[in-house]
Structure 1
């Protein structure tokens, strides 16, 4: 089953749900997503920009965050602690095998 190909429609629906979920859960910091999953809203936006080829990173971030990134950052992002930064560094290192 792992080799099952998702249709574009299914992938698009799941992606939109993920974006809506991340927009709703502003209590979850990007640094914490990075520390546990090795990606965050900004990463997702970067992937969108790369896949589209015409969007800038800023435009893609506005799509993913549901508002301009500087506004989202001011409203929802706190200062990262040394512990959060250490978890993020360890987590991101695991991504090297996947790129």
Structure 2
């Protein structure tokens, strides 16, 4: 079977399961900093939170961003930040700036 052969319900269920697995994977890799994700993949946990809120809005659902961010981080963001977020190194910041400069 190919993905295009799935019913809309099957596709939605698989996409939801994939998203939950992505969140679980990110939760298990708290050592991976958001700036690392941004530099390597062009998105981070905060991006996922914003996409989640945007998808809800497309369905006329209003979600609180901080609540969504807690869902993505597995805890309130300030708590995650205090426990796991490190100060970005100059090399990380330089890489990020180069990526941003290429976008302009």
TM-score, normalised with respect to structure 2: 0.79
Q: 19, 22, 30: which is aligned to 1:26?
A: 30
Higher relative contact order at CA 8 Å, sep ≥6: structure 1 or structure 2?
1
Contact 1:31-1:88 at 8 Å conserved across structures: yes
| Structure 1, gaps ≥5 residues long | none
Matched, 1:71 2:79: yes
Q: Distance in 2 between matches of 1:5 and 1:38?
A: 30
Q: Pick the structure with greater CA Rg.
A: 2
Superposition RMSD in Å: 2.1
Post-superposition CA distance 1:20-62 (Å, at most 9, x none): 1101100101111111101001110110111112112211110
TM-score, normalised with respect to structure 1: 0.83
